[in-house]
Structure 1
Amino acid sequence: MSQNIKQINPLVCPLCGQPNACLNLSTRDVTKSCWCNDPNIRFPEGLRAMVPPEAKMKACICKACALKYQESQEKN
């Protein structure tokens, strides 16, 4: 019996499928500062809820998706 298990790539945004430019995962050096540490970029629960369950805590949202969500919320 074969299982259809989708591999999660930690360097690909789970929302858009593009590279997420995660510095911590890509270099395996947690001392480097990633773009996501910018205090002007927020990751509210509504954005995090959009990540498919199988990718939660396994792949980072990219900057473009984070900013797009942030801008959409600011317009409301």
Structure 2
Amino acid sequence: MPDPQTRNPASCPVCGQSNLCALAIPATATRPCWCYSANIDAHTLAQPAAAQNRNACLCPACAQAVPAKEADAP
């Protein structure tokens, strides 16, 4: 998990990879971000790394990951 003190708006706060956020890149800041049309589970957003750094978007892979509790459900 990336250091929560390192606040890079272009990096996913969960995995540290590029979050592909259109708003974090000056050249694409006027375009809508991929996340505007994504369905992101509330449990995913409540993960500690995501909740601690609300200044950076999750990457598509982390945003679409099934939260552990749901993955373990029968």
Same fold flag (TM > 0.5): yes
Counterpart CA distance in 2 for 1:35 and 1:44 is: 15
Structure 2 partner of 1:54: 52
C-alpha root-mean-square deviation of aligned residues, in Å? 2.8
Q: How many residues align?
A: 67
Give the structure with higher Rg (CA).
1
Counterpart CA distance in 2 for 1:42 and 1:74 is: 17
Counterpart CA distance in 2 for 1:43 and 1:36 is: 8
- With the length of structure 1 as denominator, give the TM-score of the two structures: 0.67
Q: CA deviation at 1:51?
A: 4.1
Pick from 33, 57, 67: which aligns with 2:64? 67
Q: Which runs of 4+ in 1 moved over 4 A?
A: 72-76
